[in-house]
Chains A and B, each alone.
Chain A
Amino acid sequence: MLPPTLSAQEASEEQLAFFEKRIRPVLVEHCYQCHSRNAAAKEKLRGGLYLDSRQGILKGGESGAAAIAGKPAESLLISALKFESFEMPPAGKLTVDVIADFEKWIADGMVDPRDGQIAADRKIDINAGREFWAYQPLSQPAIPTVAGVQPATPIDAFIIRKLQEQGMKQVGHADRRILARRLYYDIVGLPPSIDQIESFVKDTRSDAYEQLVDKLLSSPAFGERWGRHWLDVVRYAESITLRGLLYREAWRFRDAVISSFNADVPFNVMARQQVSGDLMEAASREQREMNLLLTGFLSMGNNNLEDQDKAKLRMDVVDEQLETIGRAFLAQTIGCARCHDHKFDPIPTKDYYALAGILRSTESIINANVGRWVELDMPLPEAEQKQLDAMNAQIAALKQEITKLQGSGGDNAPIAVDALEGVVVDDLDAKLVGAWTKSTSSKNFVGANYQHDGAAGKGEKSAEFTPPEPLEGEYEVRFAVAHGGNRAPKVNVTVWSADGESTTEVNQQKKPPILGRFVSLGKHRFTANTDAKVTVSTANTTQHVIIDAVQFLPVDLKGSPTKVVTDEDAKERAAALKVAQATLKKLEAERPSKIRYMTVSEQKEIGDTQVHIRGNAHNLGESVSRGFLQVVSHEDSPAIDDTQSGRRQLGDWLVSSQNPLAPRVYANRIWHWLIGTGIVRTVDNFGTTGELPSHPELLDYLASRFVENGWSTKQLVREIVLSSTYQLSSNSNENYSAVDPENRLLSSMNRRRIDAESLLDTLLVTSGSIDNRLGGSLIPAGITTDYDFPHDSRRRAVYWPVFRNSLPDLFVVFDFANPSMVVGRRDVSSTAPQSLFLMNNDWVIQQSQQMADKWLAQHELDVQSRTEAVVYTILGRKPRSSEQQLIMQYVVAAGDDKMEQQRRWTQVIQTLFSSVDFRYIY
C-alpha cells in the first residue's frame, strides 16, 4: 500500500488518469454543488466540507475528516456514499461501481492533482466581543445637568439632555383624568371608576399623584398585571400543542409569579428560583414552596413529546430551555449557536454546549412513546410528613383489611393474596421460564394480576409455584385461572408432594368452580423434606396459557378457600367492614391533599455534553466542560463539579453582580411596559442584531438603581411613573414629527394600545360581572385535552386558561403573546378580525347589554346624565359635545319602548368599546 501522504508529484500516470476519469467527474457532478469553494461563494456550502481539493477532503467538515488516505473503511466519504452514515449525494445513491471506484482511489492513496487553499475557520474573538456595549460592566453615569429647566427627577434629566441636544423640548403634562386612567391600566391593568378618577382630580394635596401610585402598587391587582407581563416572557401555558395535553398544575407557577410580584420578591432571587429553586436553601417552608413552584419555568416549553428520536428530543428540550433562559434574562440569542458559532454575537458553539451540559444533566422529560414532563408532590415539613405517612399507612392497612373482609368481591373481582387462607403462592413469586405477559384484563384473578404466554413459544415456557416455607401435613391444592374464551382448553398442571407427582388437566376456558377462579388439584400430603411445588408447562397446549396463583389449603380448615368461614363470622365481618369503610372515608377526607407542581429534577447521570455537530444529536464532537457564556463571564464564575447539574451555579451566574446583562435587560423591560418602547426596542435581543439603546446612560442609571434598591420591581416602577416624562401628554409636538418621527427622544408620552387582558377585564368590570378572586385553576376536572375549549369566566383574564390549541378568541385576535415563545414585546396590529370581534361577538354584546341594563336601572338619570356616565366609565373622561349629541340622538330614537332602549344602549356601549379613545391609553 502506498503511504498516505502521497501527493500528485509522486503519483503515477495511471493513478492520475484514474482520478481524472473515475473520480473527478463524479465529484463535479454530484458533490460540488454543496461542497466546493464555488458553493461557499454562493453561501451554499454544506457541513463546512470542501470536496474540491485534496486538502479539503483530508481536513473534512464539521463531522471531521472526510477520508483517510489508504483507509477507505474508516473514511466518512465512503460510508456516506454507501448511505451508512450520511446519505450522499442526497438525490440518490450512486451505483455500486462508482462507490467501488472511490474505495479504490482512497485505498491507493487518494492521488489528486487538485490544489486549493481552504479558507481558515472564522474564530470568535471573545475579548473583542466584550467591547460591545451590552457586555460592558454597568456604569454609574452622572446625572446630566441641563440648561434652563430643573428636571423633576434624574430620569427626566437624561431625557431632557438628549432632547436639548436636538433643540427639542417636552410637551406639557397630561390632563389628570388621562393620567389616572394611564396609571390604573399600567399598574393594575384595570379601568378606574368615575369616583376613583374624580377623587384624584379633586385631591389637592401636593403629593396626590404619589399617593395614588403607592395605593396602586400595594394593590393585589399589581401582581396580576405585572405577573402577566412576566408570564409573556416565560412562555407560560397550561397545555402543549401536541395532543393538547393539559398542564394541569401550571397555574401554581402562575400564582407563584403573581404573589412574588405582589410581595416584591427581589428579581435576582426570582431569577434563581426559576432556574434552580429546587436546589436552593430555604429559610422557611413558604420560601421552600415558592422555590419549588417557580421551577415550573423550566418545564413550560411547548415540546414535541411524541418525537421518536429521544436523543434528539432531549436536546430539543435543552435547546428550548436555553433559548428561553437566554432571551428572558440576558436578551441573548443563544440558540443561534446550537449548530455553528453564532454568526453575529460572540457566542461560540462551545459556550452553547457548556450551558447545554447543565440542562442535559437536568431531567425535564420522562421518556416514553409520548414523553411526560416532571410533576412532583410538594414536600411537607418533617412533622407533617410523619403525620401524613402515618395516615397513609393507616389508610393502606384499612384498605387491606377491607379487601380481606370483603373476601371475594364476587366471582369477577380480584382477591388480595392476604384475603386467602392457607399458603398462597402468587404468580409474582413463582419461578418463571420464558416470556410471560402480565395482564388484568379478566378480573377474576388473585393479587395484582395474572400472566399469560401470549399463545407463543409453546413448550419453551413454564412456571413453578413453591411455598416459601416447607409444608407439613395434608393440604388441598388449588390452582387459580382467570379463565376466558381464548385460553388453552388443556393445560397440564402437576402437584409434587410426598406421594410423588400428580398431573391434572385444566380447561382454562371454563369458569372455575371455586370463587370463580380456583380449580382443585386434589388433596396432597407434604413433609418437610420432600419437594412441595406445583408446575405448569405450556408444551402441547394451544391458545393462551394462564398462570395466576396456587393455594395450599390445610384440610383441617374445613376446606374453605377464604377467611370468611361461617354465617356468624360473615355477620361479624359485615359489621366490621362497615366500620372500616366509614373510618377510611373519614381518614381520606382528613388527609391533607398533596400539592402537585411542575418542575425538573437532577438527572441520575450528571456530566458534560459533547458538541452536537450541526445540532445533530447523532453526530457528536468534542466534550465541553459545563459553564457559562464566556463573553459575560469573569474570574469568579461558580465552579461546577460532577455531583450536580450546575443549575444552581447557572442561577447564581445569571444575576451575579458582575453580569451586566440581567439588570439591564430587566430594567429595559420595565421601561418598555410603562413607556411603550424599550430604551433598547428589541427587548429580547441585546446582541449585535438587536437595536442599540436610545439612551444608554439612562439605561445604566436605571439598571444600577434597580440593583441598588435590592432588585425591587416596585421601586423601579415607582421611580419611572413618578418621572415627569411618564406624566407627559401623549399629544405630540407636530414640529418634531420630521426630526423624531418615532418619538425615540420622548418629547411626549407614547399613546399605547389597550392589550387583550385589559380589554377583557374592562368589559367585565364595566358590566359589573367581574369576579375579583385571586388565584386558582380554571381548568375543569372533566376535560383531557385543550381542544375547542369553551372559554367563559367572570375572572380576570390572567386566570383564563392559556391553552396553546385554543386560546380565548379575544386573546387570539388582540395580539396576546404567543405562549410558545419568549415575548417581551407584543405585536400591535390592526386587523379586521379584531373589528369583527368587537362588532359581532356574542360575549361582547352580552357584556355591553349587562352594562346597559345596569345604567338603565338607574331611573333617576336622564338621557344626558346617563350618556355622561356611560362615556365616562368606558373612556375615563366626560363626553365631547359631539359624542354626547350623537349618542343622545341614537338612544332617543327608541322612544318609550323598553326593549328598543335596551337594544340601543347596548349598541352605544358596544360602539364605545370599538372607539379609538377606548382602544388607546393616552
Chain B
Amino acid sequence: MDGIGFTRRQALSMSACGFGQLALAGLLNDTANAAPANPMLAKQSHFPQKAKRVIFLFMQGGPSQVDSFDYKPLLYKKNGEELAFDDARVIANTGKRGSAQKVMQPLWDFNQYGECGHWASDLFPETARHMDKLCMLHSMHTEGVAHGPATLFLHCGATNFVRPSMGSWISYGLGSENDNLPGFVSICPSPGNGGARNYGSAFLPPAFQGTTLGSAGRPSKNAKIRDLVNGRFDKKQQSEQFDLLRQINSAQLSDRRGDAELESVVSSFELAWRLQNNAPGVLDLSDESEQTLKLYGIDEPKTTDFGQQCLMARRLAESGVRYIQSTYGDGSPNPAWDQHSNLPKHLDHARAVDRPVAGLLEDLDRRGLLEDTLVWWGAEFGRTPYAQNNGTGRDHNPNGFTTWLAGGGVKPGFAYGATDEFGHKAVENKTHMHDLHATILHLLGMDHTRLTYRYSGRDFRLTDVHGEVVSEIIA
C-alpha cells in the first residue's frame, strides 16, 4: 500500500514466530481503525518451555558472596594481610589497577549441605537445607559499580539507557497465563536506584509494565493492586452501576458497530470487573493454613514481612502470573544489604529472608510447582573479599558474585563457575548478567536474540548484542 514503509507480511516476518501480531500491534498502535489486540493473551514460545514462570527474589544492595555461598578457605589464612586487588570502584574512578586492600575473612562459619555437599555459611541455614534443589552460579559478573547503574543493569540490561525491564520483556513475549491477572507483578519494589524503571516497559507498550504491590520499606501486608477495590459503593451498588455502564456503552456503540478499538475499550471494563472479583482473593492470605504461614515464617515478627511477600509470590505463580519479583530492600540510596561498614548487620537481613525463602522452596516443591517455576535469588552485585577502607564492611563487587536458581529446568544440587581463590573476580565459566538473562529467557522457551522490539529504527533486545545461554546448568 502506498505510504506505508513495510507490508503486513514484512512486519510479520521481521519479528520472531508468534510475536508477529503483537509486534504489528505495537508498531501500528495509533492507527485509526486497527484494533489493539489484547496484549496479554497467552502467546506461543519459540520452543518448548522448561519454566512457565519466574519468581525473582531480589536481595537489594548486594549480599556478600564470600560470607554466604562462595566458600574461600584462603580468606582465613590471609585475614588482615594487605594485598593488591583490582578494585572495581578504584578502576572506575581512576583507572588504576592493583590497589592495596586488607583481606577480611568471612564472619560466618561454612558447612557442607545435602548430598551435593555444596557450601553455605551460617547466614542461610534454612535455605542451605534445600541445597540439593539449588543451582549455584558462582561466576556471576555484571556492569556498574554503584547501585543505580548495577540495579538498572540487573533489571533492564543497561546501566543508563531507558530500556524495558526483564518482566516487561517476558510478558511481551509470553503474555499472561491468566486473563484475570497481570503478566508481571513486582511485590514491594524499591523506589530507589532506578525505581520505576526497574519494572517499567520503556518503549514497549505500557500494558507490559509491572503491576506493583506496595513499596519496599513498607509493611507488605498493605501491598495491594491500585484501585482494585471500591471504597465507596458496596457490591450490589457497584454491580448495578456496572450494568448501567454496559447498557450505556452498548447504546453508544450502536452507531459505530464493528469499530474494534471502541469494542476493546468496552471489553477492558469486563476484564477489570473480572479482575476486581478475582484478584483480591489471590492476594488474600487468610485462607492459608497455620502450618503454611509457619513455613514462611509468618508466625514471627522478624520473618513475617518477607514471608508474606514470598507467600504472595507463590499464590501469584500458582494463578499464572508469568514474572513475579519480590524485593527485600528499602527506599534508601544505600539499600538493605549494603554493608559498607558493619558487616555483622548482614545477619539481620539473612534472618529476615532465610526462613521465608526456604519456606517458598519447600512449598513450591510440595505443590509440584517447582518443576516449572524458576526461582531466582540474587542481587545487583556482590561484595569485595577485603574490608572497605580497612573498616568493618565490604564495598560493592560487580566482578564476581553468587546467584542461585532453583526449579524451572535448571540442574538441582549443581554448582557452576568459580571466582578466584579470594572470591573476588569470576575466573572460571564466567557468567555475565547478560548471559543469565539469556538463560532465563531460554528456560522460558524464548531465544533472547529473537525476542525483539522495533523502536527508533532498531530491533532492541533485553541482551542488546550480547548474552550466551549457559546450557551447562540446564537439566
Contacts and interface: CB of A to CB of B under 8 A. Distances in A.
Interface of A: 90-93, 241-244, 302-310, 313, 316, 320, 323, 327, 333, 335-336, 343-345, 618, 676-677, 681-682, 684-685, 687-695, 731-732, 734, 737, 741-744, 750-751, 785, 787-788, 804-807, 809, 812, 815, 818, 820-821, 825-837, 839-842, 845, 880, 882-883, 886-887, 890, 903, 907-908, 910-912, 914-917, 919-920
B293 to A, nearest CB: 29
B149 A832 contact: no
B92 interface: yes
A62 B227 CA distance: 53
A827 B30 contact: yes
B3 A788 contact: no
Contact of A820 (B88, B139, B197): B197
B271 A916 contact: no
Interface of B: 1-6, 28-34, 36, 39, 88-89, 92-93, 95, 139, 144-149, 152, 159-162, 182, 191-197, 200, 202-203, 205-207, 211, 215, 225-233, 237-238, 240-242, 244-245, 247-249, 251-253, 255-256, 258-259, 261-262, 264-269, 271-273, 275-276, 331, 333, 426-430, 432, 454, 456-458
B272 A832 contact: yes
A831 B268 contact: yes
Contacts of B95: 618
B245 A915 contact: yes
Contacts of A242: 148, 193-195
12 contacts: A91-B430, A92-B426, A303-B160, A309-B145, A731-B255, A741-B34, A744-B4, A818-B162, A831-B268, A836-B228, A886-B248, A907-B240
Contacts of B265: 830, 916, 919
Contacts of A344: 457
B427 A92 contact: yes
Nearest to A844: B227
Nearest to B5: A691
B4 A691 contact: yes
Contact of A689 (B264, B268, B457): B457
B34 A830 contact: no
A829 B25 CA distance: 10
Identify which of B139, B162, B331, B430 gathers the most chain A CB atoms within 10 Å of its CB. B162
A307 B456 contact: no
A827 B147 contact: no
Contacts of A807: 196
B195 A336 contact: no
A507 B36 CA distance: 79
B5 A690 contact: yes
A835 B268 contact: yes
Nearest to B228: A836
B344 to A, nearest CB: 23
Contacts of A920: 262
Nearest to B332: A243
A685 B205 CA distance: 17
B121 to A, nearest CB: 25
Identify which of A336, A343, A831, A910 gathers the most chain B CB atoms within 10 Å of its CB. A831
Nearest to A826: B30
B232 A676 contact: no
A732 B34 CA distance: 13
A463 to B, nearest CB: 26
Contacts of A684: 456
Contact of A818 (B4, B32, B202): B202
Contacts of A837: 226-227
Given A832-B271, A890-B244, A903-B233, 15 more contacts: A92-B428, A244-B191, A308-B145, A310-B93, A682-B5, A743-B31, A788-B215, A806-B196, A807-B196, A829-B36, A829-B205, A835-B271, A839-B272, A842-B232, A919-B265
Given A306-B146, A903-B237, A912 B248 contact: yes
Q: Give the 7 A-B CB pairs with smallest separation, nearest first.
A: A694-B3, A835-B272, A689-B457, A308-B92, A805-B195, A306-B148, A333-B457
A241 B195 CA distance: 6
Contacts of A243: 148, 192-193, 333
A423 B29 CA distance: 78
Given A677-B32, A689-B458, A911 B196 contact: no
Contacts of A677: 30-32
Contacts of B139: 92
